[in-house]
Amino acid sequence: MPNPKIELIRILVILALCIVALFLRFGFQPEQLYTSRWTGAGFSTSLLSQSETGLVDEFLPVLKPETARASLEQYNQGSVLQESVADGRVQFYRRDLADGNIAYFVVNLDEQVHLEVINADGATPSSDATGNTIWTDGQRHLATVVEMVHAPYTAREGMTLLGAMAFGFHGAVRTSNEGTVVINNTIHRVNPARAALCLTPDHHAWIGLFNADILQHCEQAIGAGPVVLWQGKIANPDVIVETPTFLPFNPLGEDFVQIEWRKHIYTGLYPKTMIGIGAHEDGSTYLVMMVSYGVTGIDVVRQLQEMGCTTALGGDDDTSTQAVWRGIPVRNNQVQEVPDALAIYLRQ
């Protein structure tokens, strides 16, 4: 006859396994951090209630860049330094590659460096009742980055504007940024289905999918996408399963109607814009703001990898690709007007 105690233990084990299975099926799943979808206007998302219970403190550190696994200084030795400002806090480099070239700004985040989202005509981005991108005045505002940096509305008292780069994703109607926008601690738009770059008041940076509650920790934020480097691995349209080197394209599952076009641009030699995040050995954060010409996306991301970046976000491409240093374009090619850019200021 079966031992009653053994049978009871067996039943309890089965019940415990069933409870665990139900929890995993219907309870909190960490991947919700990366797959939540935009619900339209307003700040309500599937992440909001989780953030209110302490998710902010648990989630943000996950997005912190790891200590650089490659030498930024060593990489820069193979590039041509154009200018170094404020004891190397901000540096501008150029580099020729086998099939093209890149130009990039290395921005070490500290109290003397101020990055800010600037908008054409100084306009304010927002969302309409359905969540679509608009400017608050209902008009369209577009300008080249050169026009922006020379305009009075981008001047900041006590600061020098060193450089700026078009960054975002604006779609066919080319209104305000389709992604998240935070400017000087004010949240203007929230799109948790698109990745964004978040810059915090304590001089750190993160890339990820953020809801309104998490964005309260961001001094500046600008949406773009998709993510092209995540936890040290490169997004690759040719892989469908994660490998030691690559992740499938769009690793965070961002909500892109134009995802096939993004793949086309990424795999081709079109001009591209990317921002990578790295960390020095002392834990301080740096950004690499890069434009590329005649280089595939994977090869561009490899450059960021070699510079110690572990996370990177794609941005403008084709004729929207443009960067300016001290008011002069880094490349004299034809560009189109864009709604916004990320500018680098130095406090005097």
pLDDT tens-digit readout, 94-116: 999 999 999 999 999 999 999 99
pLDDT class of 128 with cuts at 50, 70, 90: confident
**pLDDT at residue 8 in the model:** 61
| Residue linked to tokens 């240093």 | 325
pLDDT at residue 186, rounded to an integer = 97
Which two tokens mark 241? Answer: 């399963």
| Strand runs labelled E in 193-325 | 196-199, 205-208, 220-223, 227-230, 233-236, 246-248, 272-279, 285-293, 309-317, 323-325
pLDDT confidence of 46, banded at 50, 70, 90? Answer: very low
Task: Evaluate if residue 44 carries a pLDDT over 50.
Answer: no
Q: Stretch 30-48: mean pLDDT, rounded? A: 29
- Residue 63's CB is within 10 A of a number of other CB atoms, namely 19
Q: CA-to-CA distance for 40 and 23, rounded, in angstroms?
A: 29
24-28, 86-90, 252-256: which has the minimum mean pLDDT? 24-28
Neighbours of 117 (CB within 10 A): 22
Helix axes 297-306, 259-267, angle to 10 degrees: 70
Q: Cβ distance 45 to 211 under 8 Å?
A: yes
∠338-344-345 over CA atoms, to 5°?
125
Of residues 234 and 132, the one with the higher pLDDT is: 234
Alpha carbon distance 276, 171 (integer Å): 22
pTM of the model: 0.82
pLDDT tens, residue by residue, 147-191: 999 999 999 999 999 999 999 877 556 567 789 999 999 999 999
DSSP string, 267-285: HS---EEEEEEEE-TTS-E
29: pLDDT confidence band, cut at 50, 70 and 90?
very low
User: What's the pLDDT score for residue 7?
Assistant: 64
Q: Residue 60's pLDDT is what?
A: 41
- pLDDT in the model for residue 72: 94
Q: Where are the domains of the chain?
A: 32-347
Query: Whole-angstrom Cα distance, residue 39 to residue 266?
Result: 28
Average pLDDT over residues 268-272: 96
pLDDT of residue 9: 61
* Burial class of residue 259, CB neighbours in 10 A (0-12, 13-18, 19+): middle
pLDDT of residue 130: 82
Residue 16 is inside which H or E element, if any?
Answer: helix 4-26
Q: Is the pLDDT of residue 55 over 50?
A: no
